[in-house]
Structure 1
Amino acid sequence: MSPLASRLLVLLCLALPLYGVEKVKNRGYRKEPDVDKCTGNDAEKPNCTRHSSDEGRSPCQSSMYGSCMQGPAGTSGRDGNPGANGIPGTPGIPGRDGLKGEKGECVSEIFEEPWRPNYKQCAWNALNYGIDLGKVADCTFTKLRSDSALRVLFSGSLRLKCKNACCQRWYFTFNGAECTGPLPVESIIYLDQGSPELNSTINIHRTSSVEGLCEGVKAGLVDVAVWVGTCADYPRGDASTGWNSVSRIIIEELPK
């Protein structure tokens, strides 16, 4: 055998044992995975779970170790800034008229006590009062309010006679004064053509009335009276009031 062949045979004998040892080592060794294939956010990849043996390794280094477990949720982010106003929408379709409602009730508010009737009547049977000047009859009345009006009425037989033209006047007074709100309450009888003598046959008694409203009379006790007197610029005649019949004064308080 040549010297070269002897050397190659010696090297071969030395290399065989070393190959066997290296092969035995590789049987119990797991090859590390390629780190570039499972890095960063690879925890979200399926079948990628980290094992206790992976301490010190990256969260996900090998699919051979199973899938990585998902970590705890992070802190919620803050609300963003409000967005800008959008473009105004187009006007909607006009609505239809609704059904006609029922007729409502008329309600009036009352801020004070309701008006209570207040009236009085004084009456005489056959008064037969023959004076020509002075008070004929009177009747007292209690007026409840100052802002009200008094309606007065005298009803009875009146008569006037004279030789020449004459005039007599019957009128009301309130506490001794004639009405000024707005004017006196009165009635007259005028006789132009008389008889030659006062006891002539022209002697007519007729039931007549004196009536009107008077304002401005204060509240309280009011003396309402009927008087007889003369007319302006005319002489008086022979007057008679309440002959052979009933005479009456009626007083009523009215709201303004």
Structure 2
Amino acid sequence: MMSPLVARLLLLVCLALPLYGVEKVRNRGYRKDPDHEKCTGNDAEKPNCTRHSEEGRSTYLYGTCMQGPAGTPGREGNPGTNGIPGTPGIPGRDGLKGEKGECINEIFEEPWRPNYKQCAWNSLNYGIDLGKVADCTFTKLRTDSAVRVLFSGSLRLKCKNACCQRWYFTFNGAECTGPLPIESIIYLDQGSPELNSTINIHRTSSVEGLCEGVKAGLVDVAVWVGTCADYPRGDASTGWNSVSRIIIEELPK
């Protein structure tokens, strides 16, 4: 039979064992480091601290404290200074050779200068029906230019029956071919019984045109009177009782 003293000791051991197991489980893995300090205030930056819970029990967080709420974002900093310039890169390789260009010769020409001439007659009164009426010489400066000519004067034609007369320009004795002759005609459909009838009208008229292909140099410009093709001639008169003139002008093409 067990003595009363031994029975009491067994009873105490049975009561103490459960409490010891609970405390061991509670402290398992939470061995307190002697370097740990108690967290107070803004000690979140401390590497090792002990933060107490509301129940007054110590909580050990494996060397770090629990993170608190985020603070207010700070202002942007001033721009930094420029960095050190980099080193030059490796030079590139030469490109492929290009095609040979065209050779263009620049021609510097002098500015165009006006070149014109006028010949005038007072009361020419030339009554021929066929032949040269008047002429005017002109110095043409360039071959690649055109010549503008103008005759202005009184013209008249009369005849018994239908007749036609033609006034035209020549250049060194030949009519213009670039592109066509320069001419003017008067045609009278019905004349009078006599040449000296009252139908005798003199009107100031003009013969004008532009001729190309005339070579540079001295040019004899003349006005002629002649017949129209397939029509008889009449009694012609040029420059009666008035001023007649020929105007010649060289123009660039």
How far the C-alpha of 1:108 sits from its partner, in A, is: 17
Any unmatched runs of 5+ in structure 1?
59-63
Change over 3 Å in CA distance of 1:2–1:221 after alignment to 2: closer
Q: Distance in 1 between matches of 2:102 and 2:137?
A: 44
TM-score by length of 1: 0.58
Residues 10-33 of structure 1, C-alpha deviation per residue, up to 9 Å, x if partnerless? Answer: 999999999999999999999999
- SS state of the match for residue 206, structure 2? strand
How far the C-alpha of 1:112 sits from its partner, in A, is: 1.3
How far the C-alpha of 1:238 sits from its partner, in A, is: 0.1
Q: Counterpart in 2 of 1:68? A: 65
Contact 1:136 1:226 in 2 (8 A): yes
How far the C-alpha of 1:111 sits from its partner, in A, is: 2.9
Contact 1:132 1:240 in 2 (8 A): yes
Contact 2:36 2:48 in 1 (8 A): no
Change over 3 Å in CA distance of 1:205–1:49 after alignment to 2: same
Contact 1:158 1:239 in 2 (8 A): yes
Q: Distance in 1 between matches of 2:248 and 2:4?
A: 174
Any unmatched runs of 5+ in structure 2?
none
Residues 107-133 of structure 1, C-alpha deviation per residue, up to 9 Å, x if partnerless? Answer: 999931110000000000000000000
Select the structure of larger CA radius of gyration: 1
Identical residues among aligned pairs (%): 92
Q: Counterpart in 2 of 1:54? A: 54
Q: Distance in 1 between matches of 2:192 and 2:144?
A: 49
Change over 3 Å in CA distance of 1:113–1:40 after alignment to 2: farther
Residues 171-193 of structure 1, C-alpha deviation per residue, up to 9 Å, x if partnerless? Answer: 00000000000000000000001
Q: Distance in 1 between matches of 2:160 and 2:11?
A: 197
- SS state of the match for residue 172, structure 1? strand
Q: What's the Cα RMSD here?
A: 17.8
TM-score by length of 2: 0.59
Change over 3 Å in CA distance of 1:170–1:12 after alignment to 2: closer
Contact 2:148 2:211 in 1 (8 A): yes
Q: Count residues in correspondence.
A: 250
Change over 3 Å in CA distance of 1:54–1:168 after alignment to 2: closer
Between 1:91-100 and 1:64-73, the stretch displaced more is 64-73
* Over 4 Å off, 4+ runs: 1-51, 53-58, 64-110
Contact 1:44 1:70 in 2 (8 A): no
Q: Distance in 2 between matches of 1:26 and 1:165?
A: 148
- SS state of the match for residue 5, structure 1? helix
